[in-house]
Chain A
Amino acid sequence: MSFAPRPPVQPWAKANIGRRVQVAAAIIVPATLTMLFNVLTGLDPNISLIVVFLPLQIIAASLVGFKAYGSRGIGDAILVVVTIFFSVFVLVLLLSVLGSVIVEGSKAISWQFLSQNNRYVSPTTSLDYGGVGHALLGTLMVVGLTTLAAVPLGIAMAVYLTQSQSKTRGIVRTFTQALSGLPSVVSGLFILSIIETTQMGRSGFTGSLALFPLMLPTVARVAEEALRLVPVDLRYAALALGAPNYRAFFQVILPAAKSGLVTALLLGLARIVGETAPLIVTVNANNGTSWNPFEGPMATLPTYVYNYLSSSFMTSQQRAWGAALVLLMLVAILFGLARFVSRSKSLKSKPTKKRASK
């Protein structure tokens, strides 16, 4: 029997030319009409996009849908148009936020902006001097301290909630969920009251304390979901081989849940890295570089942005944009790093040479 390779075929993906022309027309005609309408009436384009373009587009798509599939095609067309329209709407919003930070922030960014501190900077100092190095360092230390405490404890909570059969799990879960709704400023005020009553003095560390109740429930809940996704069969398989509970957990369940636990870490980080309010009330601002998170004032990126954004001077506002961009880049780097670390381990056992199994 001879075998000649043929290109793959996808009969379900066929669309004839006529249909494609109709779809194109259903987009071009409403768009043209909307532009004409704008030119004639002088209506704000943002408004006409919703009150003119969207209804026209729905009508046009419904006509095409009706022609192709009958009355069933109308509902289909409306859903497709509305879904795509609002998806693009949200996407544009997101991208414009990101875009404005990148465009405005990149004007301030330079090596010196990343490395220098703010000590001799006045509101009108040129962007060639000073930077956010001290705030970057402060954010890394404050967030790092919180992460060191919240991630192990959050994962431990998730282990307790998924692996034990304790009767108090329900209460713990309820309190965790309640805690995740805690407004961040309340967390800051709580630590502030401790600072005031104990006279302990503000530092980066008190900021970490204020961020801790925000990160813990996020990590715990996401980690719980990740551990719950590991099939119970695997645990039984390990126990049936004579594994004590702790070995079954560390050697089988934990590796299987690894990527989910990294997600828990990332979402926890994302939750606190941009928090401003708790840091404003618990950490004194600092223009100089501080290497000691346990004593004295300390700058962080969110509070830096907050301080400069309210200024009326152009260079100050640009410093705020620059710091915001640094914050975004920091988050992106941390995310990339965490994903890389969690992936490189599972790639270690590369498949050896492939051979047919029989």
Chain B
Amino acid sequence: MISSNTASTLSTEDISVWFGQRQVLSDVSLTFPANKVTALIGPSGCGKSTFIRTLNRMHELIPGAGLSGAVYLDGQDIYSESMDAVSVRINIGMVFQKPNPFPTMSIKDNILSGLKLSGRKIDNAEELVETSLRRASIWNEVKDRLNDQAISLSGGQQQRLCIARSLAMDPKVLLMDEPCSALDPGSTRRIEETIQELSSSMTIVIVTHNMQQAQRVSDQTAFFLADDNTPGGVVEFGSTEQIFNGPIDQRTNDYVNGHFG
């Protein structure tokens, strides 16, 4: 697969997050090494999705949002004054929980939209469309209808289209916020295969509620938890093998074995 960018290492240092006066995350420090897949697990409301949105500066779009700490992309703080949010988001792509293709555009235009939206020149449009769709394992399903409206696709296809749209930007890091939560087992499996293939060319962070999925796709896992009325935080962080088969913390053990959450 063609990829001019190389994967980057992403790391966070003491990330704390507020909505208004309410603190929802406290002191999260994690490292996402290049070419590794990291799964973020934890019960609903523990701040996983909020955390993943701080990694490409989407969090600040919410009115009343607050943040302290730092996020380093290859050693550079993405929240420093010399970085602007737009260039951060070009390098760190994101796939959302709900498929959100642009409804006014065709399948092809959706793939090219990232380049157009970030004001970059498109050479080899055809090739880029095919490569991106192939990498998201949806090419065979849509190759004959590239000019159809994107919303004519099924939910699973739309989600893979959104992944392809992110891939067309050739990001160094790809963030995925529960990308399979609304999909059937077949689509989920194909997206998981896609993740495995992509990890050779980028760093991937994925939020998931599905324990089996975390075990299947990730190299390392972080377990988030928020006790009643306290900000969420990371309870345990280590290799996926260790988190699922020999967790140190009792709460991690209870969660991965389905005793709560």
User: A350 in the interface, Cβ–Cβ < 8 Å?
Assistant: yes
Query: For the complex, what is the distance from the CA of A255 to the CA of B104, rounded to whole Å?
Result: 7
Contact B61 A256, beta carbon cutoff 8 Å = no
Query: For the complex, what is the distance from the CA of A237 to the CA of B118, rounded to whole Å?
Result: 12
Chain A, residues 238-270, CB within 8 Å of chain B (1/0): the string is 111111100110011001101000000000000
User: B89 in the interface, Cβ–Cβ < 8 Å?
Assistant: yes
Contact B96 A352, beta carbon cutoff 8 Å = no
One of B145, B157, B169 near A352 (C-beta < 8 A)? B145
Residues in B with CB closer than 8 Å to A349 are 106, 109, 147, 149
Contact B141 A240, beta carbon cutoff 8 Å = no
Instruction: State the Cβ distance, A17 to closest chain B Cβ, in Å.
Output: 44
Instruction: State the Cβ distance, B59 to closest chain A Cβ, in Å.
Output: 11
Residue of chain A at shortest CB distance from B84? A244
Contact A241 B144, beta carbon cutoff 8 Å = no
One of A251, A354, A355 near B116 (C-beta < 8 A)? A251
Residues in B with CB closer than 8 Å to A239 are 58, 61, 85, 89
Residues in A with CB closer than 8 Å to B87 are 242
Residues in B with CB closer than 8 Å to A354 are 145
Residue of chain B at shortest CB distance from A252? B102
Contact A353 B94, beta carbon cutoff 8 Å = no
Contact A237 B157, beta carbon cutoff 8 Å = no
Contact B114 A242, beta carbon cutoff 8 Å = yes
CB neighbors of A among B137-164 (8 A): 141-142, 144-149, 152-154, 157, 162
Say whether, besides A236-B96, A242-B169, A358-B141, A247 and B117 are in contact (CB < 8 Å).
yes
Chain A, residues 318-358, CB within 8 Å of chain B (1/0): the string is 00000000000000000000000000001001111111011
Contact B149 A241, beta carbon cutoff 8 Å = no
User: A18 in the interface, Cβ–Cβ < 8 Å?
Assistant: no
Interface size on A, residues (CB 8 A): 30
One of A240, A251, A355 near B89 (C-beta < 8 A)? A240
Contact A241 B157, beta carbon cutoff 8 Å = no
Contact B102 A234, beta carbon cutoff 8 Å = yes
User: A197 in the interface, Cβ–Cβ < 8 Å?
Assistant: no
Residues in A with CB closer than 8 Å to B116 are 247, 251
Instruction: State the Cβ distance, A240 to closest chain B Cβ, in Å.
Output: 4
User: B100 in the interface, Cβ–Cβ < 8 Å?
Assistant: yes
Contact A251 B145, beta carbon cutoff 8 Å = no
Residue of chain A at shortest CB distance from B152? A351
Contact B162 A237, beta carbon cutoff 8 Å = yes
Residues in B with CB closer than 8 Å to A244 are 86, 118-119
User: A42 in the interface, Cβ–Cβ < 8 Å?
Assistant: no
Instruction: State the Cβ distance, B157 to closest chain A Cβ, in Å.
Output: 7
CB neighbors of B among A7-38 (8 A): none
Residues in B with CB closer than 8 Å to A346 are 104
Contact A240 B56, beta carbon cutoff 8 Å = yes
Instruction: State the Cβ distance, B256 to closest chain A Cβ, in Å.
Output: 30
11 further A-B pairs in the complex, CB-CB below 8 A; given A237-B102, A258-B104, A349-B147: A165-B63, A234-B102, A234-B103, A240-B96, A241-B165, A241-B169, A243-B86, A252-B104, A352-B145, A353-B144, A355-B144
What is B's interface to A at a CB cutoff of 8 Å? 56, 58, 61, 63, 85-87, 89-90, 93-94, 96, 98, 100-106, 109, 113-114, 116-119, 141-142, 144-149, 152-154, 157, 162, 165-166, 169
Q: Top 9 closest A-B pairs, CB basis? A: A242-B90, A243-B117, A241-B114, A242-B118, A255-B104, A240-B94, A242-B89, A233-B100, A237-B100
Q: List 26 A-B contacts (CB under 8 A).
A: A239-B61, A239-B85, A240-B58, A240-B89, A240-B94, A240-B96, A241-B93, A242-B89, A242-B90, A242-B114, A243-B86, A247-B119, A248-B117, A251-B117, A252-B102, A256-B102, A346-B104, A349-B147, A350-B147, A351-B145, A351-B148, A351-B149, A352-B144, A353-B144, A353-B145, A357-B154
What is A's interface to B at a CB cutoff of 8 Å? 165, 231, 233-234, 236-244, 247-248, 251-252, 255-256, 258, 346, 349-355, 357-358
